[in-house]
A and B are shown apart, each in its own frame.
Chain A
């Protein structure tokens, strides 16, 4: 992928939550920012998948999706607690302070659209975690070592379902293709390297995603081939999640997720 045009974000844009993302002047803010990126990816995708709970197409799939969600919320807990106070970061930050990529906040749609999103994200996440196991940062190294096994299963499950839906009935194939169409434009953001990330790559803390973009494209291509699906045409990429520019969908997700702790701040259960 050619380098992408930067998005101008007005300076000083930040939400007014009781906990804002750490400011750029703090020591090692790049590392905190990276923890928030990975942690918010896991938190938001975990919350999205948990929306299926009780609504899955069949009981077994309901349990499968809930298991993926639990793995991701567990990963988010580790990452956000390393970045600061995990609960406050999850429940008392405003939408502009979230650093997740746009792909994970996309709506579930039907089951095929959820599987398309999960295939695209977990394939990327698995490649990242494989490399993060060699990070110069001890916490990230240990985190990646634990999470990579969970995500290997996520990727495998998404792959199996993509193939069955794509190479299934006329209707399942159409829905799978539409799900991929919806999510495809959010792939380039996964490989975007901004100044913060570049600094971490140079320090050996973060892997360079550009190093595995070709492998990613070919792995996804192989799954689609087996699923008898055409890769969607590349569309105009949509960027900005890593800087807090989110789609309208994230605000609705947070409104539901944060409602209780914000309304009853000292609630315990």
Chain B
């Protein structure tokens, strides 16, 4: 059963030049079949040009209990945002 198989996180690059983006997860006995399952589950409507799969157990995640000390201090530091510059109209992607 799939519950016996490890979980893999799936990342899809939707086109050249863009980054891989997390789209979901699949169960699979190993990396090759995880790629096959990811291909069949997440790219069947032409969503991607490249796939990564990563064992979910290998991901080191931040602790939600620490969210306060990790993220809240950034909220009061507006000087870190580049909002005090005038951006020329010709510059589109910033």
Chain A positions near chain B (C-beta within 8 angstroms): 57-61, 63-64, 67, 156-157, 160, 164
Contacts and interface: CB of A to CB of B under 8 A. Distances in A.
B33 A164 contact: yes
Contact of A60 (B26, B30, B32): B26
Contacts, number: 31
Q: What is the predominant secondary structure among interface residues of chain A facing chain B?
A: helix
B44 A67 contact: yes
Contacts of B29: 164
Nearest to B4: A58
B48 to A, nearest CB: 14
Specify which of B26, B28, B37 lies most central, judged by the most chain A CB atoms within 10 Å of its CB: B37
A63 B36 contact: no
B89 interface: no
Contacts of A64: 36-37, 40
Interface residues of B, number: 15
B28 A60 contact: yes
Interface of B: 1-2, 5, 26-30, 32-33, 36-37, 40-41, 44
Contacts of B2: 58-60
Nearest to A58: B2
B91 to A, nearest CB: 41
A160 B36 contact: yes
A117 to B, nearest CB: 18
Nearest to A65: B40
Contacts of A60: 2, 26-28, 37, 40-41
Contacts of A57: 1
Contacts of A157: 36
Nearest to B37: A60
Given A58-B2, A58-B5, 13 more contacts: A58-B27, A59-B2, A59-B27, A60-B2, A60-B37, A61-B37, A63-B37, A63-B40, A63-B41, A67-B44, A160-B33, A160-B36, A164-B30
B45 to A, nearest CB: 11
B43 to A, nearest CB: 10
